[in-house]
Amino acid sequence: MVDAGGRGSRSPVWLDRLGYEPAPEEQVRVDVTYVTRTYRREPDQLEGLLGALTNATPALPRGGIVAVQEGDRFAVAISGMLGEEPPHDDEEMVRYAETLAAPQIGALIRSAVPVSPPVRMRFPASLRRRYERLRRFPDGYLVVGDALCSFNPIYGQGMTVAALQALLLRNLLAAGGTRLARRFFQGAARVIDGPWSISVGTDLRFPAVPGRRTPKVRFVNAYVERVHAGAAGDPELGAAFLRVLNLIDPPTRLLAPRTVWRVLRSRRSRRRRSVVAPAA
């Protein structure tokens, strides 16, 4: 039996009733609200692009994403963290989107034709259940996907991580052997570690998000902030970050010499611009 019941998984309750100890849990409260709507894509909209993305920051806890879809459509999701709630009224959605760090999202939906009603969702906290740390687990039972680890949805990692777990399970079954649950949970933990670190580390930039900020987390967040700033004027940096965020490349790719050089060059360029006095 496989529990793929998502964030509402009942596995902790069932295992408790069967006399198994509870799995250790890690939780990061983010209080995200997001509104999603689908629009008709006209020939001149998002030409040559797959979409656009802007993440929330401590200074502006709002974000948005545009994703091109099949059938000449695109989806827009606008979000707020820590109690910041995006509206779902037509005009108010546009005004909210125009306040984002990428105001192009607001300009896009102001002229776009909606093909679905707006849908609001709330996500209180990221949650990871560490079944790999249990000494006992029932035979013939597994927990996968959001039931195992539920990510902050604004980073779009949950479905990819679930797919990687499915591939892991397929490979383990093909290889055969005993103690499938232990081998699966240990492998799944390795699959989850990278994206969990990215998601949680990024959320811990917000002072109001509770959690331990280790020196490693502080260093990574400071560096990623510089990557974000540089990506605003450097498409190669932006592409490198999105490849890591979408789990195409490992996080270490952002520390490749060429990427570090572009981050430092971008920072020096911004500093030079900031000291140039305006003309009299």
Residue range 30-122 in CATH 3.30.9.30: yes
| Nearest of 191, 166, 189, 143 to residue 20 by alpha carbon | 143
Burial 205-224 (b: 16+ CB within 10 A, else e): bbeebebeeeeebeebbeeb
Nearest to 139 by CA among 193, 182, 100: 182
* 3-state SS, residue 64: strand
- Measure the CA–CA gap between 87 and 265, rounded to whole angstroms: 39
Model pTM?
A: 0.82
H helix count then E strand count, the chain: 8, 9
Nearest to 217 by CA among 195, 241, 200: 200
Q: Where in the chain is the domain with CATH 3.30.9.30?
A: 30-122
Residue 203: C-alpha distances to residues 58, 70, 131, 171 (Å): 9, 31, 23, 33
The one-digit pLDDT tens for each residue of the chain (280 residues) are 899 999 889 999 999 999 999 999 999 999 999 999 999 988 877 765 555 677 788 888 999 988 888 888 999 999 999 989 999 888 999 999 999 888 888 988 998 999 999 999 999 999 999 999 999 999 999 999 999 999 999 888 899 999 999 999 999 999 998 899 999 999 999 999 988 988 888 899 899 999 888 888 888 888 888 887 787 678 888 888 878 877 888 888 888 999 999 998 887 665 555 444 444 4
pLDDT in tens, 8-27: 899 999 999 999 999 999 99
